[in-house]
Amino acid sequence: MTDLGKMNYFLGMEIYQCNVGIFISQKRYALEVLKKFHMEKCKPMTTPLVANEKLSLHDSTSKVDASIYRSLIGSLLYLSATRPNIMFAASLLSRFMHSPSEAHYKAAKRVLRYIRGTTDYGLWFLKDESVDLEGYADSDWTGSENGAKSTSGYVFSFGSGVFSWNSKKQDVVAQSSAEAEYISTATAATIAIANNPVHHGRTKHIKVKYHAIREVVKSKEVSLEHCCSEKQIADIMTKALSKGKFEVLRSKLGVSKKNLKEEC
């Protein structure tokens, strides 16, 4: 056996370890993606998506090469491994991979323009932070333009950078914002305990989800607390946000520049 020392690169991920914590990024991979799609010299954007913009399966713009679009979305999804702040954008755009249009491709290129200005960003896991397990779950009721389905999002952390996150269109049509929130919360709670394989994202009956969340609360494995919109970190997983709110929530995810490495 050979001791190769501290890990610094693995499957496109760059790892920096020091006294204050661990920083994980994909700068090299991000630069390769920009070059692949001829966006290495594009003008940077401050957010990955336009706030309040609605994308639909059926728009008036012409269709684009689906293979190129799928390759681009696949790259964005892989980048979300260390960039949870682009998870919603990648998830949203992946819904159009079977028949992408110019509008979808334009939105995807905007995400690349955002990445162009944030290639130094990644996830910081700081040593001196709290070790309390916290999870945030949120939903955007009927946020989808097709089928009136809602979007669920959640993030989990141990007081520093998030280690688990997701953004996904719900499998059922929620009849109220309360039901949409409940589905999102039940999904997050099921992930938190990870004990019963029956409770997964494909569970379609609201009563099953109800019993899942009720039981984990009853057993005190999960404690539910209301979170006001200003502190709802998972909001970044369910919708496109304004620059100010996006940057605040991005910071709370633990996503930042790697300049803290200078303190190592």
Res 195: pLDDT = 39
Instruction: Give residue-wise pLDDT tens across range 197-247.
Output: 454 444 444 555 556 666 777 777 777 667 666 778 888 988 889 999 999
SS3 readout for the chain: CCCCCCCCEECCEEEEEECCEEEEECHHHHHHHHHHCCCCCCCCCCCCCCCCCCCCCCCCCCECCHHHHHHHHHHHHHHCCCCHHHHHHHHHHHCCCCCCEHHHHHHHHHHHHHHHCCCCEEEEEECCCCCCCEEEEEEECCCCCCCCCCEEEEEEECCCCEEEEEEEECCCCCCCHHHHHHHHHHHHHHHHHCCCCCCCCCCCCHHHHHHHHHHHHHCCCCCCCCCCHHHCHHHHHCCCCCHHHHHHHHHHHCEEEHHHHHHC
Higher pLDDT, 26 or 196: 26
What are the tens digits of pLDDT across the range 142-176?
555 555 577 888 888 887 888 889 888 765 555 45
Task: Please state the domain extents for the chain.
Answer: 9-124+239-263, 130-236
- Give residue 200's pLDDT: 47
The mean pLDDT of 186-192, rounded to a whole number, is 55
Q: How confident is the model at residue 136 (pLDDT cuts 50, 70, 90)?
A: confident
The correct answer on CATH 3.90.1720.10 for the domain covering 130-236 is no
pTM of the model: 0.77
Task: Summarize the confidence of residues 178-198 as an average pLDDT.
Answer: 51
Tens of pLDDT, residue by residue over 43-102, are 999 999 998 888 888 888 899 999 999 999 999 999 999 999 999 999 999 999 999 999
What pLDDT is recorded for position 4?
77
